[in-house]
Structure 1
Amino acid sequence: MTLITDVRLRRILDSRGNTTVEADVATDSSFGRAAAPSGASTGEHEAIELPAADAIKRAREHAIPRLEGEVLAAEQRAVDAALHDADGTENFSEIGANAAVAISMAAAKAGAGSSGVPLYKHLGGTFRGDRFPTPLGNVIGGGAHAAEATNIQEFLSVPSGAPSVTEAIFANAKVHARIKKLLQDEGVPTNKGDEGAWAPPIGDAKAFELVDQATAAVSDELGFDIGFGLDMAAAELYDGDDYVYDDGTRSTAEQIDYVAEMVREYDLRYVEDPLDENAFGAWSELTDEVGSETMICGDDLFVTNVGRLQEGIEHGSANSILIKPNQIGTLTDAVDAIELGARNGIQSAVSHRSGETEDTTIAHLAVGTAAPYIKTGTVGGERTAKLNELMRIEGTA
């Protein structure tokens, strides 16, 4: 157990070419490096991301003096409490959630090194060698991640029958490749969105058809079940009264009926953000109707926040929560949300962001907390970094 001796911050590029914050945390015997991702489709209740240069300046002034020579790297809750104390707000608007989460994740890596354990064991404590997350692979995308593509933000491959996380990862890559072939056969341009998913100029109905066809074909080829799911990012579609699609609008009641119909028609395994981020009651209606058939996952609804999750639990608003450490600012806050959900029958899916880096912390977080799902994309260096790390963990656990 050694004190943090040095914290350094710098600007680096994320996968969209925007600047983000990278942190180095050192002790006398260990070192950790991590970088903050950034979202395009962001919930209004997320912790505040500041411009990288501003976040670095403020963290150097307010946070680093509370860490260097003051906190043990192996004591993650103490590290993250120091970050909260340095910020003094409820949403990291003073030092920036991007600076906070980069420091938090880098400290976790240094803490794992000083303790002599893998990062997933340092983070979790609930790890079991036979439990790995099912990867959700984004194979067709639109919404805020790609212009002139589908209204629904993500169509996700869900290889729920894969015998290992390695086979699941390869299955998602095969589905991604099969969709390209189907698009090419129909003469449709194979554009890509921010997360490496195909972003063709097609409507939602055609996307449903293609993903259904591709997942069924790859499932037959590999001999295990592959379904699919959605991230609807419905807050991006909601205008305050209705959900606006290219082919018309849907009232809240019609949106609930539409989602339920798609769940049953396509046996959807996962539906993320099917309704507006403040519509706890409508979420409850949908979960009552199809929650026994699929995962109804709150991202913008919960923003990895235990207060909003508790409200959702009281309303019965969902049966799953998306976990994004940068939404809330620290790993401690993310783990607290996972644990609160688990105590109340809410499953967790640990997730990347659309603007990513090569950082692999979320792979360790998902394994270490026995999260049932991880959402990391399917292709692209910043996406495959997480996937390859999952396979390394599986090979050594």
Structure 2
Amino acid sequence: MTVIENVVGRISVLKGGKYSVEIDVITTSGFGRFAAPIDEDPSLYIVEAHRAVSEVDEIIGPELIGFDSQEQELIDSYLWEIDGTEDLSHIGANTALAVSVAVAKAAANVKKVPLYSYIGGTFTTELPVPMLKFAEDDNFEYIVLVRDLMEISDVVDAMVKIKENSREVALEGLSKASELAGDELGVEVALGLIQKRKMKLEEVLRTVEDYNIAYIKPLGEEELFLELIAGTHGIFVDGEYLFKTRNILDRRYYNALSIKPINLGTLTDLYNLINDVKSERIAPILAEAKYESADEALPHLAVGFKCPAIMFHEGSLVKINELIRIAEDLGERGRIITFEG
């Protein structure tokens, strides 16, 4: 049976020594657990984590007892009703996400199917292209990706080769190292860039053209995005900045959008946004938050929601290995999604 019998909250320690809330959802014959990530560094994070646990134990948990854990949309809608605000500012987006994912895990556990299969259904066979953040300097965070990926581990091999071939963290050196890595491995290795400061339009265009760049997340006004889309071919222009600051969701401005589940709330909210993004012919990239637990759910969400790419931090070995396990589980049915700008 999938009826919820108990919901338990506790303090959880995330990467970087930050604190969040972890949720257990217990059904009559299944169990699900998830610790919510945090995307920022709130000064009162330990206080907020304790408050979230109290909310779960005293309000959310008792309200959800008796619900069928398979009724994901109903439960997610009820979490918004319990919160009573327009932005989950009462119970918190991290608490809502923790409860929502734990509910899905409990239902999948009862069904004895992997989370990705429970979310995506029988015909879930596509694997996202992994992108790895591996370095940063004053100007950029650097990402490695393999355009003609055959195995999930190819991107890890490419990252290792780039580090072996580069003497310092600088754009020109890493660009040359990525090309050398591609030659050594026999695959097409490229860099991705996340801007950390605003740059002039000409400088951004020149950077994309000159340094083996396949992906960029710019900072700037609408004009910058329009010029990047018009002036580049086969390059992913990530519109997270425009989406968050201007609420712009439009293929004319960008062709990719990194999505962090923690910024949305429930799984239903995540599902709806991914569908909206796809309807605009924009590639959704599921991305880790700044502070994460070792939970393995993120690759399952990317596969279940058929996201063409997933962005990991270099040290997220648990999640990378889980994506490899999912690929193994799918076997010959599995194929890596074509990820082209």
Give the 3 Å change call, closer, same or farther, for CA 282–61 of structure 1 in structure 2: farther
Moved more, 162-171 or 91-100: 162-171
- In 1, Cα distance between equivalents of 2:264 and 2:226: 27
Give the 3 Å change call, closer, same or farther, for CA 173–302 of structure 1 in structure 2: farther
Q: Do 1:366 and 1:374's aligned partners in 2 also have CA atoms closer than 8 Å?
A: yes
Q: Offset at 1:61?
A: 3.4
Q: Do 1:10 and 1:21's aligned partners in 2 also have CA atoms closer than 8 Å?
A: yes
Structure 2 spans left out of the alignment, 5+ residues? 331-341
**Residue of structure 2 in register with 1:17 after alignment:** 17
Q: Do 1:351 and 1:376's aligned partners in 2 also have CA atoms closer than 8 Å?
A: yes
- In 1, Cα distance between equivalents of 2:232 and 2:27: 47
Q: Match for 2:57: what amino acid?
A: R
Q: Offset at 1:269?
A: 0.9
Q: Do 1:73 and 1:108's aligned partners in 2 also have CA atoms closer than 8 Å?
A: yes
Q: Match for 1:275: what amino acid?
A: L
Q: Do 2:216 and 2:238's aligned partners in 1 also have CA atoms closer than 8 Å?
A: yes
For 1:210, which of 173, 176, 194 is the aligned residue? 173
- In 2, Cα distance between equivalents of 1:94 and 1:392: 37
Q: Offset at 1:75?
A: 2.2
Q: Do 1:14 and 1:355's aligned partners in 2 also have CA atoms closer than 8 Å?
A: yes
| Segments of 4+ moved more than 6 angstroms | none
Aligned: 1:139 with 2:76: no
Aligned: 1:151 with 2:146: no
- In 1, Cα distance between equivalents of 2:282 and 2:239: 10
Q: Deviations over 1:163-202 (max 9, x none)?
A: 1223333333443x426x623xxxxxxxxxxxxxxxx6xx
Q: Deviations over 1:229-285 (max 9, x none)?
A: 11114xxx3xxxxx3xxxxxx5xxx2x22222111112311112x124xx4x33542
- In 2, Cα distance between equivalents of 1:29 and 1:290: 56
More strand by share: 2
Q: Do 2:127 and 2:306's aligned partners in 1 also have CA atoms closer than 8 Å?
A: yes
Q: Deviations over 1:190-226 (max 9, x none)?
A: xxxxxxxxxx6xxxxxx11222122122211111111
For 2:192, which of 213, 229, 246 is the aligned residue? 229
Aligned: 1:119 with 2:115: yes
Q: Do 1:30 and 1:113's aligned partners in 2 also have CA atoms closer than 8 Å?
A: yes
Structure 1 spans left out of the alignment, 5+ residues? 43-47, 142-148, 184-199, 201-206, 238-242, 244-249
Aligned residues: CA RMSD: 2.5
Q: How many residues align?
A: 328
Structure 1 segment 1-397 matched on structure 2, within 5 A: 2-40=2-40, 51-69=48-66, 71-125=67-121, 128-129=124-125, 131-141=126-136, 149-152=137-140, 154-175=141-162, 177-178=163-164, 182-183=167-168, 207-233=170-196, 237=197, 243=198, 250=199, 254=200, 256-272=201-217, 274-276=218-220, 279=221, 281-282=222-223, 284-290=225-231, 292-303=233-244, 308=247, 311-313=248-250, 316-379=252-315, 383-397=316-330
Q: Do 1:50 and 1:97's aligned partners in 2 also have CA atoms closer than 8 Å?
A: no
Q: Match for 2:249: what amino acid?
A: G
Q: Do 1:7 and 1:26's aligned partners in 2 also have CA atoms closer than 8 Å?
A: yes
Give the 3 Å change call, closer, same or farther, for CA 324–49 of structure 1 in structure 2: farther
Q: Offset at 1:7?
A: 0.8
Q: Offset at 1:41?
A: 8.3
Using the size of structure 2 for normalisation, the TM-score is 0.88
Q: Do 2:249 and 2:280's aligned partners in 1 also have CA atoms closer than 8 Å?
A: no
SS of aligned partner of 2:243: coil
Give the 3 Å change call, closer, same or farther, for CA 3–336 of structure 1 in structure 2: same
Q: Match for 1:178: what amino acid?
A: E
Q: Match for 2:91: what amino acid?
A: I
Q: Offset at 1:115?
A: 2.4
SS of aligned partner of 2:20: strand
Q: Do 1:173 and 1:378's aligned partners in 2 also have CA atoms closer than 8 Å?
A: no
Q: Deviations over 1:74-106 (max 9, x none)?
A: 222122112111111121110011111111111
Matched-pair identity in %: 31
SS of aligned partner of 2:127: coil
Q: Do 2:144 and 2:155's aligned partners in 1 also have CA atoms closer than 8 Å?
A: no
Q: Offset at 1:127?
A: 5.2
